[in-house]
Amino acid sequence: MSLSGLIRALPKAELHLHIEGTLTPERMWSLAQRHGITLPYESVDAITDAYQFSDLQSFLDLYYQGADVLRDEQDFYLLMQDYLASCNAQNIVHAEIMFDPQTHTKRGVGFDVFMPGFLKALEEAKQMWGITSTLIMCFLRDLPESDAFDTLAQAEPWYEHITAVGLDSAEVGNPPEKFTDVFAQARARGFKCVAHAGEEGPPEYIVQALDVLHVNRIDHGVKCELAPALMARLRDKQIALTVCPQSNLKLCVIDDMAQHNILRLLDAGLLVTVNADDPSYFDGDLVANFMALERELGMTAAQLRQLVINGFTGSFLPEAVKARHI
Ligand code: ES4
Ligand code: ZN
């Protein structure tokens, strides 16, 4: 089988995926019409054309604006359903899906609106396609820690449906240590922890995420290559990095995919995984990310297989279930 055939055929896990980042221009358009919202775009194509970013912040501005069309339970149901249908098409059999409550609660849209919509679509995908999933509730790091505490409290009726807490949004200037206390409380309540670190920010933020937030894995983490001692630690402890190549390219973390360090990190023995991040904004789902590694970096079949295995190893699935996938 060709490598691209193998990329499609292998059952895969996705560990770094923002559900709000799966909102397609078509769905944004239809939801805007449904709610009588006037978008600052003339057409679906104009939405896609606007997705040119110079850094993380320039993306976040459009991403938060786009999420404004998500108003009622049905919107969140359709959003999740679209993503899970794409999982089925890509042979993604397990997804650990991030959501940003504060993006919605600050607009007056509460947990009782988005959670039922998400859970209905997740349950249907489990029944129809056997897709398993976990939810990761992310705190917006550009907001104060007190807002994250409020969010953790508001989520209480839904704890049984949430596996982990995470940290996302504008990284530089908002170091992990800003969220020390809320992560401690989340851990005490039984949540696993993840954090975006070393996407645009320095390797020290990755060290803080490990030492201060006690995260189980690092989202992105590509800047670890600047700190050899940290790289050795990530390798020795087999801490998963959820790397998003196409995201790094679109947000100018790298100038050219040929420069991406993902295969160097993999060959150095780190537990690297491949993920889409925000597929609708970054012009690429999980399969497209793997295809880019084949096309631009000459990924081999052995490297592909290792990356796919790492997706399950780095997941929050129970060990016995992981073993069935590996
Ligand atoms: C994000 Cl790529 C990225 N980085 C940080 N926060 C985010 N939220 C959604 N996508
Ligand atoms: Zn992300």
169 CA closest ligand 1 atom index: 6
Tell me which ligand sits closest to the C-alpha of residue 281. Answer: 1
Give mean pLDDT, residues 32-36. 97
For residues 31-51, average pLDDT: 96
Note whether 172 and 201 are within 8 A (CB).
yes
CB count in 10 Å sphere of residue 65 = 13
For 252-293, write each residue's pLDDT tens digit: 999 999 999 999 999 999 999 999 999 999 999 999 999 999
Instruction: Among 56, 138, 246, name the best residue to mutate to test ligand 1's pocket (greatest count of ligand atoms within 8 A of Cβ).
Output: 56
Q: Whose atoms come closest to the Cα of 138: which ligand?
A: 1
In whole angstroms, give the CA distance from residue 267 to residue 279. 26
**161 in a labelled binding site:** no
Sequence-distant (6+) residues with CB within 8 A of 173 are none
CA 20 – CA 103 distance, rounded (Å): 9
Contacts of 2 (CB under 8 A, 6+ apart): none
Q: Return d(Cα 148, Cα 18) in angstroms, integer.
A: 18
| 14, 15, 18, best to mutate for ligand 1 pocket (most atoms within 8 Å of CB) | 18
Q: Show the beta-strand stretches assigned E in the chain.
A: 12-18, 92-99, 132-140, 164-168, 192-197, 217-220, 240-243, 272-274
Encode pLDDT of 193-221 as tens digits.
999 999 999 999 999 999 999 999 999 99
For residue 23, report the distance from its CA to the centre of ligand 2, in Å: 14
**Residue 84, strand partner residues:** none
Instruction: Tell me the pLDDT band of 175, cut-offs 50, 70 and 90.
Output: very high
Task: Report the C-alpha gap between 84 and 132 in whole angstroms.
Answer: 10
Rounded Cα–Cα distance for residues 187 and 195 (Å): 13
In this model, does residue 160 exceed pLDDT 90?
yes
Ligand-binding annotation for 278, yes or no, is yes
Nearest Cα residue to atom 6 of ligand 1: 169
**What's the pLDDT at 220?**
98
Q: Are strands 217-220 and 272-274 parallel, antiparallel or unpaired?
A: unpaired
* Cβ(158)–Cβ(182) below 8 Å: no
The pLDDT mean for the chain works out to: 98
C-alpha of residue 168 to centroid of ligand 2, in Å: 7
CA distance 127 to 124: 5
- Domains (range + CATH), the chain: 3-325 (3.20.20.140)
List the Cα angle 92/78/116 in 5-degree steps.
95
Which is the closest atom of ligand 1 to the Cα of 18?
Answer: 9
pTM listed for this prediction? 0.98
Hey, which residues are catalytic here?
199
User: Is-contact 309 157, C-beta < 8 A?
Assistant: no
> Which ligand has an atom closest to residue 19 CA?
1
Residue 147 marked in a binding site: no
Type of residue numbered 24: T
Each as own residue / partner, the long-range contacts of residues 232-235 (CB below 8 Å, 24 or more positions apart, any chain) are 234/206, 234/270, 234/271, 235/268, 235/269, 235/270
Does 260 carry a binding-site annotation? Answer: no
What confidence score (pLDDT) does residue 1 get? 86
